[in-house]
Structure 1
Amino acid sequence: MTTNGTSTAPQTAANDKAARRKRFEDVFPIIANELLGYIRGEGMPKDAVEWYEKNLYHNTPGGKLNRGMSVVDTVEILKGEALTEDEYLKAAILGWCVELLQAYFLVADDMMDASLTRRGQPCWYKMPNVGNIAINDAFMLEAAIYHLLKKHFRSEKYYVDLLELFLETTFQTELGQLIDLLTAPEDHVDLSRFSLEKHHLIVVYKTAFYSFYLPVALAMRMRGIEDEAAYKLALSILIPLGEYFQVQDDYLDCYGLPEHIGKIGTDILDNKCSWNINTALSHATPDQLSVLESNYGRKDPVAESRVKEVFSQEPIALPRRFETYEAESYTKITELIESVDESGGMKRAVFTSFLNKVYKRSK
């Protein structure tokens, strides 16, 4: 369909995406009210209830919500048709549990990194009168997950599987954070600690498990997929996909347009163990290495510009190397997806939907 010669398909897709997001967002007040009702029922004072409400709303909704919405999308793909209201609610609750896990990580991560802003507003610990109370608030965001799982899934035969998924993924993510903190402390720059092997571990454990595998595995459990081979197959595709996503994120931090990515990249200033610096270190000449060692991780825009200049020089040539990496990753992931046997209830569309969202993205 066209209007004045212009296709309405992109607008229709945008409207559909907005509608799906709104439907997902509309579930959050339901679970927030359940959590607040629980602590009221425990006799908590009014100021504690109000504090927890602010904690929930400041830290959980408001992001891209890709992880949470992916649970709903995957359940729908696996079912092959629209979900009933009850199925949608259950899938959305699982999705919001993933977003609560994300919120828990971010509140703690921002304190560890001494960050100032998150999603365009002050980090939670930087809000008036919060400070170190944010440590306990992070724990309360995590605890909410298990309260909701018990309330809504206790009678399901896959209840323990859900618990194990969240517990194991949390541990994996914290291992990734540990490697990151030990490798690249913001206040002590030592590029000899960096390597592409460490970057791989950080990315897989800190991002890929909870951002890509967890939403799909939760959806698979909800749809009754019990074959462990299906979960191993999903892992074999989603972990490389998650790594590709994070490498892409690292690259865009340096080369993406701020108006597209919604922020000004700070990885160089913050001494991040990113794909960019590790790739540069593995290809740098002695002179280039000297510039990187003298300027990387310094809170100085001139030093940052020197690093960016070296990143683009031969033989490092990050834009060219990223283009090659992206093409190779796409081919590899596509081949893995094509190998999926759909006879066991798994569907290739689960993985292609993820790949289509991230391939060649600019934000």
Structure 2
Amino acid sequence: MATQAQHDLLADKAQQKVQRRKRFEQVFPLLVEELIGYLQSENMPADAQDWFKRNLNYNTPGGKLNRGLSVVDTVEILLCTDTATGKKVRELSEPEYLKAAILGWCVELLQAYFLVADDMMDASITRRGQPCWYRVEGVANIAINDAFMLEAAIYFLLKKHFRSEPYYGLLLELFHDVTFQTELGQLIDLITAPEDHVDLSKFSLNKHHLIVVYKTAFYSFYLPVALAMRMAGITDDSLYQAALDILIPMGEYFQVQDDYLDCYGSPEDIGKIGTDILDNKCSWNINVALANATPDQRAILDANYGRKDADCEQRVKQIFSAPNIDIAARFERYEKESYEKLNALIDALPEGAGATETSSGLRREVFRSFLEKVYKRAK
């Protein structure tokens, strides 16, 4: 049973999380103002300015903001902890915080760009509890250009705030590389599992691995940390490789977990009713089932997966629960093995590698904080 002290500690952590998010959110209106100011300087008409502002505010804030906040958290670990003890010795200065937050919002703009486009490709109905942008009255296919403008906003902000920094070119390289990698993942996903044509012969665990690594892990896990490392002055290429070696499998574990929760998570916890089976998603669950199914089970999966029918969905779930497949038990083993593997990779990282006079170097805490957020999550 938790003690009062433990309750107080949890309450304090929750309050700190709320405050961190609030401070981060307060930066976004300043960036919107800068972007709209650019349109004004180019003599864009008032209705174009209003449209872009609404696009920015509708699609960028409002999510969990985990990717953007991770940039700030990582910069704080790298710049504000003591190299010898690993303890926090100071707070970020206002200019440091602002730069970290702008990089965080650039990641959130990248996310917004992907989601606006992805919702059109998937013919999705809602996003974050509101209509997808292209379904808002009067938007329709203008959303294609709006997605491009969300991406372009990233490079405007990077140029405005980081052009004088020695690592400016490396920031551009990171965003360009990760954007291309994510689009490659989206391509594999779209041609492997189109919603209107079910062909399970195209599915495999290797295809699933490629989709989740390229579509999710690079921009959701590696990008926030790599941006923070650049800002902290870490230049050793081997440390970026070490970060990649930890964060890509962590991102894959996160997505496998997401796939599992779509089928087995509580709708109250995950905030939605899972639809991966109905939508013909190339998820971890179906690929594990296909790899272990008998011919009779395979026939049932072929006949029922990706059909917009609740009875078909239940037949697929019955196969998932069959003793020779048992997705729940396999996920439990996968989660345990992933956690052990990730901890071993983190432990092998030289603590404080790449430290300078101003940076504590690459610290294990960067990766432990990420793992703590995702391990055994229920939502």
TM-score (norm 2): 0.94
- Point out where structure 1 has 5 or more consecutive residues left out of the alignment: none
- 2:284 is equivalent to residue 275 of structure 1: yes
Deviations 1:216-258 (A, max 9, x none): 0000000000000000000000000000000000000000000
Equivalence for 1:7: 7
After superposition, residues 9-48 of structure 1 pair within 5 angstroms as 9-48=9-48
- 2:229 is equivalent to residue 213 of structure 1: no
Q: What is the one-letter code of the residue matched to 1:360?
A: K
Equivalence for 1:348: 364
Equivalence for 2:235: 226
- 2:68 is equivalent to residue 52 of structure 1: no
**Shift of residue 11, structure 1, vs aligned partner:** 1.1
Q: What is the one-letter code of the residue matched to 1:156?
A: E
**Shift of residue 9, structure 1, vs aligned partner:** 1.4
After superposition, residues 163-312 of structure 1 pair within 5 angstroms as 163-312=172-321
* Distance (Å, rounded) in 2 between the aligned partners of 1:259 and 1:146: 38
**Shift of residue 5, structure 1, vs aligned partner:** 8.0
Q: What is the one-letter code of the residue matched to 2:109?
A: L
Q: What is the one-letter code of the residue matched to 1:110?
A: D
* Distance (Å, rounded) in 2 between the aligned partners of 1:7 and 1:299: 45
Higher relative contact order (CA 8 A, sep 6+): 2
Deviations 1:5-24 (A, max 9, x none): 87211111111100000000
Deviations 1:311-340 (A, max 9, x none): 111101000000000000000000000001
Equivalence for 1:360: 376
* Distance (Å, rounded) in 2 between the aligned partners of 1:85 and 1:170: 29
> Which range moved further: 338-347 or 294-303?
338-347
Instruction: Say how many residue pairs are matched.
Output: 362
SS at match of 1:83: coil
* Distance (Å, rounded) in 2 between the aligned partners of 1:162 and 1:128: 36
- 2:319 is equivalent to residue 332 of structure 1: no
* Distance (Å, rounded) in 1 between the aligned partners of 2:129 and 2:235: 41
Equivalence for 1:111: 120
Deviations 1:69-99 (A, max 9, x none): 0000000001113200000000000000000
Equivalence for 1:100: 109
The 1:189–1:143 alpha-carbon spacing in structure 2 relative to 1, beyond 3 Å, is same
The 1:5–1:337 alpha-carbon spacing in structure 2 relative to 1, beyond 3 Å, is closer
Q: What is the one-letter code of the residue matched to 1:94?
A: L
* Distance (Å, rounded) in 2 between the aligned partners of 1:129 and 1:247: 37
**Shift of residue 51, structure 1, vs aligned partner:** 0.6
* Distance (Å, rounded) in 2 between the aligned partners of 1:3 and 1:27: 37
Equivalence for 2:169: 160
* Distance (Å, rounded) in 1 between the aligned partners of 2:179 and 2:46: 31
- Point out where structure 2 has 5 or more consecutive residues left out of the alignment: 82-89, 355-360
- 2:130 is equivalent to residue 121 of structure 1: yes
The 1:314–1:217 alpha-carbon spacing in structure 2 relative to 1, beyond 3 Å, is same
The 1:267–1:48 alpha-carbon spacing in structure 2 relative to 1, beyond 3 Å, is same
* Distance (Å, rounded) in 1 between the aligned partners of 2:112 and 2:27: 17
Q: Percent identity?
A: 71
SS at match of 1:62: coil
Equivalence for 2:85: none
Q: What is the one-letter code of the residue matched to 2:376?
A: K
**Shift of residue 180, structure 1, vs aligned partner:** 0.3
Aligned pair partner of 1:146 in 145, 151, 155: 155
The 1:6–1:325 alpha-carbon spacing in structure 2 relative to 1, beyond 3 Å, is closer
* Distance (Å, rounded) in 1 between the aligned partners of 2:102 and 2:229: 15
Q: What is the one-letter code of the residue matched to 1:334?
A: N
SS at match of 1:189: coil
Equivalence for 2:100: 91
Alignment root-mean-square deviation, CA: 1.1
TM-score (norm 1): 0.98
SS at match of 1:241: helix
Deviations 1:339-360 (A, max 9, x none): 0112321100000000000000
The 1:31–1:303 alpha-carbon spacing in structure 2 relative to 1, beyond 3 Å, is same
* Distance (Å, rounded) in 2 between the aligned partners of 1:5 and 1:102: 38
Deviations 1:96-116 (A, max 9, x none): 000000000000000000000
**Shift of residue 154, structure 1, vs aligned partner:** 0.2
